[in-house]
Amino acid sequence: MSNREVVILSVGGVRFVTRVTTLQQFPESRLARMLNNDDREFRLVNGEVFVDRDGTLFSYIMDFLRTLQVSLPADFSDYQRLQREAEFYGLYPLAGLLRQEHLLKPRLEILEVRFSFQDMQAFFRIFGSCSTTVETLSERITVFTGQHSGQSWNSPSQKPLVPLPLERPSHHDMAFQCGTDYSASDQLVARYVSIKPDNRKLINGTNVLGLLLDTLLKDGFRLVSTRTVSSEEKIECYSFERMQRPAGLTITMSPASGISGLAQAKRSQVQKGK
């Protein structure tokens, strides 16, 4: 079979068609040795290789061989069974990853938005259990400042606005404000907030809050509670949560051991905060 370009496998009655080179990703595995017809567990029947194993789990084995990545559904729970299948096929790097279930299981992520309104200014502070999510969100939020002119506070003046950096008390939170205030020279200063991909520059705190909450909902968060922290200071708290899927786990070969050596796992930055 090693002389073929394409191999058809029937695993537990489920049919797979793949390239020989895909099965040879790990030359020391049973799948690679199978191509030399030296393993009794793999029988050639009517031109197809029959394997009496779980066909559903083998789909994850094939995905791993094709991409060298572990991608499992959020509700996946058969880690031990899949680990056993990986060991059967001699894919020990994959089996090693599956022993570390905590790297593969989705985690509950918490985000809290605190909003307060004082005089003509609105103050925002966002806390997150995942620092990557907070960092990603901070990159989407921009505060602009400039001297206010005109009759309306709902649109920026024609003068150029200067972007301001967000306050980052720690990796897990950030703070910003919008509205109008008087400077030391008694000039009226306005602060506008823009949240990508929305290009508007908003000065009204209620409008900014609405856009921020809508942004979080579109990012997969679920609003779980709303409460008033302090009625005197007019501080409201919005709590969100979502199941954060782990970053993709990629198998990379150790240069010292060569392609047939053991592999080590590392997190690949498929996307930030997801």
Find out whether 120 and 179 touch, Cβ atoms under 8 Å. yes
Tell me the average pLDDT across 235-256.
72
Domains of the chain: 6-105 (3.30.710.10), 109-150+158-244 (no CATH)
With contact defined as beta carbons under 8 Å apart, do 51 and 42 qualify? yes
Please provide the average confidence, as pLDDT, over all residues in the chain.
83
What kind and span of H or E run contains 251?
Answer: strand 249-253
Q: CA nearest 164: which of 204, 186, 194, 198?
A: 194
For residue 156, count CB atoms less than 10 angstroms from its CB and return exposed for 0-12, middle for 13-18, buried for 19 or more.
buried
pLDDT in tens, 14-46: 999 999 999 999 998 999 988 887 778 888 888
| Concatenated DSSP letters of 65-103 | HHHSEE---TT---HHHHHHHHHHTT-HHHHHHHT-HHH
pLDDT at 148: 57
Mean local confidence (pLDDT), 171-187: 83
Spell out the residues 6+ positions from residue 191 whose beta carbon is closer than 8 angstroms to its own: 121, 143, 144, 145, 164, 177, 178, 179, 180, 181, 203
Helices (H) and strands (E) in the chain, counts: 8, 16
Residue 158 pLDDT: 53
Dist. CA 264–CA 93, nearest whole Å = 7
Quick one: pLDDT at residue 99? 85
Mean pLDDT over 3-14 rounds to 89
Q: Is the pLDDT of residue 49 over 70?
A: yes
pLDDT classification of 267: cutoffs 50, 70, 90: very low
Q: Residue 39 contacts by C-beta under 8 Å, 6 or more apart in sequence?
A: 30, 33
Exposed / middle / buried, residue 137 (Cβ in 10 Å: 0-12, 13-18, 19+) = buried
- State yes or no: pLDDT of 50 exceeds 50: yes
Q: Is the whole model's pTM more than 0.75, yes or no?
A: no
Amino acid at 186: D
Rounded Cα gap, residues 212 and 203, in angstroms: 13
pLDDT at 253 over 90: no
Percent of the chain at pLDDT exceeding 70: 81
* pLDDT given for residue 47 in this prediction: 87
**C-beta separation of 251 from 25 below 8 A:** no
Residues written for the chain? 274
Angle between helix axes 55-67 and 79-88 (nearest 10 degrees) is 70
Question: Mean pLDDT across the stretch 242-268?
Answer: 51
Q: How confident is the model at residue 248 (pLDDT cuts 50, 70, 90)?
A: low
Mean per-residue pLDDT, 169-196: 87
Note the pLDDT of residue 220. Answer: 92
Residue 112 CA to residue 25 CA, distance in Å, equals 45
Closest C-alpha to 101, from 242, 244, 243, 246: 246
Tell whether the model's pLDDT for residue 196 goes beyond 90.
yes
Express each pLDDT in 140-165 by its tens digit.
Answer: 999 999 875 544 445 555 567 899 99
